[in-house]
Every structure is written in C-alpha cells, then in structure tokens.
Amino acid sequence: MTSLLLALGMLFDPGDDASAALARRLQKLRAEVSRSVVAIEVERETDPDGRGTRGPVAAHEDYYNRPKGPTSGVIYEADGFILTSYFNISGGLKKDGIRVTLADGKEHVAELLGFDEARDIALLKIGATGLPVLPKADFSKLAQGLFVALVGRSPDKEIPTINLGILSAMNRMERAAVQTDAEMNYGNAGGALVTLSGELVGVACNIKPKTPWGQSGGVGFACKVAEIDAVLPRLKNKEHIVAAKKPFLGIRPGEGNPEVEGLQVSEVIKDSPADKAGMKKDDVLTELDGKKLTDFESLKDVLAEKKVGDEIVIKAKRKAGKKYDDKEFKLKLAGAPDQP
C-alpha cells in the first residue's frame, strides 16, 4: 500500500499528503460514478446458483452462497437500459421479480431483455428516461498496471461502495474482459469498473460460487465496453446467448523447457483428446495447425479460433536420450468438461 500511495502521490500537488489526496479523489469519484450505478434486488422461485460446490458447511455458508441482499448494475443508456452480471439475475425469476433502485432512491420494476452467458452480462429495461450515463474509456489509452476503481451498491443500496485496484491483465475470458485486483464480491458484481477520471472500463462480472478463486480472491473481471457494444443490439432484441462448449485439448502447462522453444506439458489429463492421441508429460508442443506455439497463452489464442469437434494437428518435440524426436498428433477437440 505504501508504494501505491507514493505512486498516486505523484498525481497530486507537491507537498500534499498522498493518503489524504487519494481519499479525496476516491470520495469524489464515488459521488460522480455512483449516480450511474444502481442497486438490483431479485426474487426467485428457484436459485441453482445459490449454493456453491462446498455444500451446506456452516463455515462456508456466507462465502459460497449467493446472499439475499442487493447486487449492482450500471446505467448504460439514458432511456432506461441497465447492464449487470448475468449471474446476478440468473435462476427462476418470479413475475416482476427484478427491482432496480436508482441513486435518487426511486424504485422501478425491471424487465430482463437479453443476456450473454459467456460474457456474463444481462440487459435490463426500466421505465425511465434522462438517466446519467458514464463516459466510456478509450481502450487505446489503457494499459496493464493502470489504477481503476469498482463502484457498487451493496449491502446498503443507499450507500455506494468503492474499491481501488489496478488493471492486472487486459485480455481475459476469451479477450472479452479485463482483469483487476480491485476487490470484487457478490454485492458489487455488476457494478462499474472505472478509471480514476470516471470513465467506464467495463461491467464487473464472473463472480459466482463455482469460480475456483472464489470471491475477493484478487482476481476479478469486467466485461469490456467494446464487447458490450458489440452484443447490445442482440440483448435489446431479447436474445438469450447461451455459452457454447469451449474446445478442450486436455493438457496442463509446465514451466518451460530451456532447450526447446514451445509449450511444455506438465500433465496430460486422463481420457482427454491429448491423452487419446498419445501425448505425454514433458512433451514440448511447437505448432497447432501450422501456427507457432510458444506458451500457454499462444495455445489458448489458437484454440479460441476452433470449435468442438474440429480435427487438428499438433507438432511436438519429445526427449529421447540426449536428443529430441519430432512427434505429430492428430486429434479431434472435445468440449470442455463441466466444472465440479
């Protein structure tokens, strides 16, 4: 935190106390941004996501269960269109089961229009106009390490929250989201991730009981505004975009091989396409359908262009004594297995 304050101190007047200056900036930012952040309360008939994978263990009750309090959303267009995380409104909704409270305290029944499971966003519509909308960030000016803040409205819908962090990665969730270490939880999911000048970077998403890092684990995501804009017409048209199965190879990456450039395999998952094709631990993958592999990110980039059922060819190197033999694997991509 000390280094953070020192870095931020450079943004303020010389001689100003960095901690006090940061506090003032965040208080002003919260006041400005929270005008466009709403509280969302949901009534459900059924809630399949209301319990995590750990079961009804008392010690985990609050951490792994979706709480009953409000979550957050962002006014995206002035005539009543509101974005939130799909997780926030998933489940069997009661009639008129979504209520939105604006910053002025006015409550509206919201209609769920469309949603996108893969991006984890949902579009709501309320009967209001002239609502305050945040300016959108220019992504050409954003970079890893930039300070950002996450503004939400929970647990008290009348008092906005703010959490400070950085952009820790620019491309996550198939390049649809940024990653941030700003503390994210069930309450501020769906809220606004903004720059310190109040520009909207994205809508906080992908907080759910089954994520392996859990909530508040230093790994949070926000669906980028460009991705939202690309899919918005479909959401307005009440389209329900179901997440497709991702292609699955069935390896885990190693730490790298100093002797051979490529992706080293640390584990081959049993009965996976890689296993059935004959891949082994410590193989170094060098090409997939003619595209060079250098690390796990390059593999994910190539696989993102593929579909379940596609037949692919992977070239690799396998150590045999003091030399490496060339290997070639032909396989059909399977669908990624469901997370437990």
Domains of the chain as residue ranges with CATH: 1-243 (2.40.10.120), 247-335 (2.30.42.10)
**What is the phi/psi pair of residue 99, to 5°?**
-120, 135
Q: Are 144 and 181 in contact (CB under 8 A)?
A: no
Does the pLDDT at position 41 exceed 50? Answer: yes
Per-residue pLDDT of 87-118, as tens digits, reads: 999 988 999 999 999 999 999 999 999 999 98
Per-residue pLDDT of 223-233, as tens digits, reads: 999 999 999 99
Mean pLDDT of the 303-318 span: 91
Mean pLDDT of the 251-266 span: 89
Q: Are 266 and 285 in contact (CB under 8 A)?
A: no
DSSP symbols for 278-331: T--TT-EEEEETTEE--SHHHHHHHHTT--TT-EEEEEEEEEETTEEEEEEEEE
Q: How many CB atoms lie within 10 A of CB 286?
A: 18
Percent over 90 (pLDDT), the chain: 65
Q: Bigger pLDDT: 135 or 64? A: 135
Q: How many CB atoms lie within 10 A of CB 313?
A: 13
Mean pLDDT of the 270-288 span: 94
Mean pLDDT of the 129-139 span: 97
**pTM for the whole structure:** 0.72
Q: Which residue(s) pair with 138 in the sheet?
A: none
Please give the pLDDT value at position 33: 98
Rounded Cα gap, residues 237 and 102, in angstroms: 24
Rounded Cα gap, residues 268 and 282, in angstroms: 9
Please give the pLDDT value at position 13: 54
